[in-house]
Structure formats: structure tokens, C-alpha cells
Structure 1
Amino acid sequence: MTAAALGAVLLVAPAQAEDFHDPADLPEVTAQLAADSVRVFAVQGSVEAFSPDGSVEVIEEEVRRDGEETVVTLSSDILFEPTKAELPPTAPDNLDEVLEDAPRGAEVTITGHTDSVGDDASNQLLSEQRARAVADAVATARPDLVLTVAGRGESEPAQAETPGDTADSYARAANRRVEIRYVG
């Protein structure tokens, strides 16, 4: 998440923060919104500094079984900035942990998916680029694996979307993903 996007998230009042699940759904930051987001507390006694160490995970994954295959679903919202395909520098280390149960030399399929926002061609390209970025990081972390890479664009949604429905941001978020499949 960029500093600007993080700043926008922090400026959303706590009551409103739960209403936004996609950075594109955030309201424009106005002076009033910024003022409403600031809270001042009177503190008695000592103050301890908060450290975010260990409180943020770079990669959020869901692991499930599909027959004989293990399927690891990585949320694209955690991995990538909107409309981008560059991974954070820590991704290879974290992908090594995600794939620690994959057998040595396993055949692994990495497939990128998008939501339905945008046109088909752009979504197809973005899904391919994201799958390739994850595959490159996997190859660095686990050079023993045999990789197949594909992009499916918006053609295989995890959840049905209703175009234009702002409440549908959960479905769009579920559809923005990269799946890693292997037998084992």
C-alpha cells in the first residue's frame, strides 16, 4: 500500500472505515474528513509507543484442498497496488513460507484472476502479469518447483459480481486473487 493510500485509509473516520474494502471505493479526502478523523485523548501517567512489528502480514493466504490438489489463494489486494503487478520486496521470503508444504520438484500452477472492473483485455493482461510476478518470486524462493503460469482475467470469478453495486466490493475483492495449485 502506498503512503498516499495508507494516508487515505487513516483519514477515514473509524465508523466509516468498515464500509470500504477496495482503495478505489475510498472517498476523496477533504479538510472536513481529515478533521473528523482526528481524535485527541487526555492521557494520565506514562505513554507507551505502539510498534506495528508483527501486526501486519505481507501475504494473506487461504489454503484449501480440491481433490488431490492443495490450492493456496493469495489476495491480490494484499500483494499488489490497484492496477499494478509489482510485488513488494519481501514477497519471495513470504512465498517460501506459503509453499513450505509443496513437495520438492512439484508441478505448480500459478493463475491470476481479476474482478470485472475495466475491460476484458486489460483484465486479462493484468491477471497474466500478476501471475508472472508471483511465479518469478516463487522461482526465487523455491527453484526446485516446476511452474506453469496463466492469467484468466475476469473469466473465472470466485464470487458473482453485480456491476455498479457498491455493496459488491466484497465479491470484487474475492475475485482479485492469484491461485497456486500443486498436488500434495
Structure 2
Amino acid sequence: MSSPASPQAFPAGSQTATVAAGCFWGVEHMYRKAFANNGLLDARVGYIGGDTKNPNYRNVCSGRTGHAEALQVTYDPEKVSYRQLLEFFYKMHDPTTPNRQGPDVGSQYRSAIFFHNEEQERIAKDITDKVNKEWWKGKVITEVIPAGEWYDAEKYHQLYLDKNPRGYECPSHFLRKFPHLSE
């Protein structure tokens, strides 16, 4: 598998965010719809968080690689903030079920934020704490961990729901309506 496009391929100042929220098809689809004209420069589905080198979909689905199905976005922080991307993350999936989203079960479907630097770690922990208290009432089990090596998923997984509009969408992927978080 290849790595995502190099940072040089994107405008100066662009940043990367990586999240896992269950089946990556729906996560990618929702982020693309929400942020297409609001700072999203690229979105790739892939695998992260495990110890198997060059995993493929079959390996990851076995549950033995340690990898999660994930989304990696490159974004323009002048148009959308990391905080906004994470608030959306917590609204679009259920972060209270260990290793599960709807009918999808296994460690590859866990809820996780993979931070890329200290500022992202601080923001991710702050947002996680706030949504746990204000929205999910102490039930959030989302991991906030350093981003390790990223592996792009196979080409047919990229933009899957755009290519297969009647394809599988996890029923737990929908935008929940929560009040604004406290400052």
C-alpha cells in the first residue's frame, strides 16, 4: 500500500487529521459531504494503529492486525479547524461502543483519534473530555493516541459510496444534533 500524497502536493500550511469511526466508507462519505467546500483538500481511507506492515482489507477484517479502518483528511486550517473536524467526528458516529459501530464488530471498527503533533493531542483530549461530559454523559471510549504509520486502503475502497451509491452504509453513521460545546 502507498502512503498518502506527500505534504508538498498540498498548499503550504495544510494539515492532516486522522480518525477511526467504524466502516471507513461511511466516514469518508460524510466528511466529504460536510467539508467539500469548507477546507477539505483530500480524504483517504486506510489502515492505522496496528503492528502489521502493509496490511490489506482481508488482513484488517480478520481482526488480527491491530489496525483500524480509518480516514485521513488533509485540510486547510484557514477554512476549517481541527476542533471542528473532531466535533463532527463525535456527532457522526457512536463513540460509546467498544470495537463496534452498529452491526460492524471488531477492533478494526473502534473509535479513535490519531493525533499528529502535541497541539492535536491537546485539542483531541479537550474535545473528547467535553463531548464525554456534555454530549455522551461519561460513556465515550474513544482512544486518543499518536498516529503511527498510515497505509492507504486498496483503490476500490477510495470514494466507495460515490462509486456504489447503494453500497453498505453503517446505520450508526448519521449526524447527531448536539448543542454547541462549552468554551
- The two structures have a TM-score, normalised by structure 1, of 0.32
Instruction: Name which one, 1 or 2, has greater alpha-carbon Rg.
Output: 1
> Higher helix share goes to which structure?
1
- The two structures have a TM-score, normalised by structure 2, of 0.32
Greater RCO (Cα-Cα under 8 Å, separation 6 or more): 2
